[in-house]
Structure 1
Amino acid sequence: MFTLTLTKGVPDFSEGAVSFDEDGHLERGDTPTVMNPNDEFALKAALQTKIRNGGTSALMSMGPPGYKDILREGMESVYADELYLLSDREMAAADTWATAITVSVGIEHLDETPDLVFAGFKTADGETGHTGPQTCWGLEWPMITHVISLEAYPEEGVVRAKRLVEGDIEEIETVEAPMPAVIVTDPEFEPVYRRAEHRLKHRDLREETKARAESFEDHLTVWDHEELNLDPDYIGLDGSPTVVQGVDPIPKAPSEREATEIDPADEESMGELLDELGPHAAGRAEAGGD
């Protein structure tokens, strides 16, 4: 089997890492880039598929040259064999539509058609959840979304997956689709390795990839819009129909929190503190049982 996982770099939104200008707008150049958190579930699904079915796996991203580090990180996570970066200035500032067009053409440009393409639920910086489905539209393949578990059957040419119904964790349906297909993973996805041979293969692949990741650029292919035969009018900013009416600054958390200082030697204050915390401690003891 051959699988491809789509991944993207997003600003690091952890505390202290995000940089804003005086108007409260994100300054991407001064904010570190990390792998989109939701892509990790897609990577786990791709790795599970590789371990259970064998074959090769690849990663693809569209973005600036700095995304090479995101692909290297992804290679270490999914034990990928090959990396693909779609990158040049004509692709910059693309919305999800222009991104999906570029990525779908990139997939069609591969020497081998993937059996499965994995995508994350949504990105941390866009929150639209459009890119995976729109890429699938460009490929004209079947798609299964909100996937929480799956099994591929290469001999039958199908993939069977369990998915959440409209994001409801209480309702699950089983879906079958012919391959090639696009799989959009849900954050509830958890890989399962019940057989000893799968756990051993997981270990062996991890060791193999450590060595490969050290020279990841030897396994990296970079394509610009000319190599993909893409018209600049249909990609990047020029090819993006999305119109942004306005941007609201992200509210900053208060720099200080209210706190009450208590001197451990003050018996009265310590007594009041224990009286206040006592019910919470009792609740935890009750929940924990004997």
Structure 2
Amino acid sequence: MHSVVLTKGVPDFREGQVSFDEDGHLERGKTPTVMNPNDRFALNAALQTKVKHGGHVSAMSMGPPGYGNVLGEAMEVYADDLYLLSDRAMAAADTWATAITLSAGIEKIGDPDLVFAGFKTADGETGQTGPQTAWCLDYPIITHVIALEVDEDEGRVRAKRLVEGDVDEIETVESPLPAFIVTDPEYEASYRTARHRLRRKQLKAETADRAEEYEEHLTTWDHEDLNLDPDYIGLDGSPTIVSSVDPIPKAPAEREATMATLDDEEAMADVLETMRPFAAGD
């Protein structure tokens, strides 16, 4: 059972990490890049599949050379090896050109049984790259997946998915393998037997060791390795035209902070008096 998980580097939007210029535009060079949070669910789904059925899990990303760190973060969740698709010809790609590049990378790896992707990215919010990549591969796709089981004998995957527009309604669908799975943020991996729980613990320990030296497990391919025409990838291959970018307004500070040091007895007494009602359950 071979699974490929697609992931992306996004700006670290946690408070204090994002840098904006004076016009309110994001300064990517001054903002740390992290793995897209939604991709964690896809990686956990691939890990669950390996725990139950064995096989191999590959994590793949497209981006600049620095995205190796993002793949290292993915390996901490779980991956056996890493693939980075990177060169200048791929830069500034929209979702369509990205999907073309990713599908070429997947095909170069081989014929995986399952391809996993997160619901959407924290920076683009389009949710298009996964479905477009599935279209390029001509794979059946199941989206908004919250649980899945694989029947290796029948060569099928059965998944529970949230029905669009109604998170209270769940449907069960089946698909032949190979298939493309888009996990929902509500996805929960299930390990019901002691054997599976022990196997998961073992695999997590192994991937933690690999992640410390993730560069040794990283393969980088450029457009020539993937036999891609530069006219059809990157900016040149992107039909999307961005007419303008609106600056992000700076929100006013809503929190007030009072500084207190341990050697200031009066200030610490005020802190204790403020916290006392909450400690009592009020």
TM-score computed with the length of structure 2 as normaliser: 0.89
Counterpart of 2:232 in structure 1: which amino acid?
Answer: Y
Residue matched to 1:143: 141
Residue matched to 1:226: 224
Residue matched to 1:5: 5
| C-alpha contact (below 8 Å) 1:146/1:167 kept by paired residues | no
Gaps of 5+ in 1: 260-264, 266-272, 279-283, 286-290
Equivalents in 2 of 1:61, 1:192: separation in Å? 26
- 1:108 is paired with a residue whose SS is helix
Residue matched to 2:208: 210
Equivalents in 1 of 2:49, 2:209: separation in Å? 22
Counterpart of 2:93 in structure 1: which amino acid?
Answer: A
| C-alpha contact (below 8 Å) 1:147/1:185 kept by paired residues | yes
Equivalents in 1 of 2:30, 2:127: separation in Å? 25
Deviation string 1:156-212 (CA, Å, 9 cap, x unpaired) is 110000001104221110000001010000011011111000000011112222222
Counterpart of 1:156 in structure 2: which amino acid?
Answer: E
CA drift of 1:233 comes to 0.6
Equivalents in 2 of 1:159, 1:14: separation in Å? 36
- 2:203 is paired with a residue whose SS is helix
Please report the RMSD computed on the Cα atoms of aligned residues, expressed in angstroms.
2.2
CA drift of 1:149 comes to 0.3
More displaced, 190-199 or 250-259? 250-259
Q: Aligned runs of 1:148-159 on 2, under 5 Å?
A: 148-159=146-157
CA drift of 1:213 comes to 2.1
Gaps of 5+ in 2: 258-265, 267-273
| C-alpha contact (below 8 Å) 2:5/2:43 kept by paired residues | yes
Residue matched to 1:183: 181
Counterpart of 1:213 in structure 2: which amino acid?
Answer: A
Sequence identity percentage: 71
Counterpart of 2:25 in structure 1: which amino acid?
Answer: H
Residue matched to 2:117: 119
Residue matched to 1:90: 89
CA drift of 1:244 comes to 0.9
Equivalents in 2 of 1:146, 1:223: separation in Å? 30
CA drift of 1:88 comes to 0.4
Counterpart of 1:4 in structure 2: which amino acid?
Answer: V
Counterpart of 2:86 in structure 1: which amino acid?
Answer: S
Equivalents in 2 of 1:70, 1:257: separation in Å? 32
Equivalents in 2 of 1:152, 1:42: separation in Å? 15
Equivalents in 1 of 2:123, 2:43: separation in Å? 19
CA drift of 1:138 comes to 0.3
**Highest Rg: 1 or 2?**
1
CA drift of 1:99 comes to 0.3
Residue matched to 1:162: 160
- 2:159 is paired with a residue whose SS is strand
Q: Aligned runs of 1:237-276 on 2, under 5 Å?
A: 237-255=235-253, 257=255
Residue matched to 2:34: 34
Counterpart of 2:34 in structure 1: which amino acid?
Answer: V
- 1:199 is paired with a residue whose SS is helix
Number of residue pairs the alignment of both structures matches: 267
Q: Aligned runs of 1:22-101 on 2, under 5 Å?
A: 22-78=22-78, 80-101=79-100
Residue matched to 2:104: 105
CA drift of 1:81 comes to 1.1
| C-alpha contact (below 8 Å) 1:148/1:189 kept by paired residues | yes
Residue matched to 2:193: 195
Equivalents in 2 of 1:122, 1:257: separation in Å? 30
Equivalents in 2 of 1:213, 1:28: separation in Å? 25
| C-alpha contact (below 8 Å) 2:75/2:208 kept by paired residues | no
Residue matched to 2:269: none
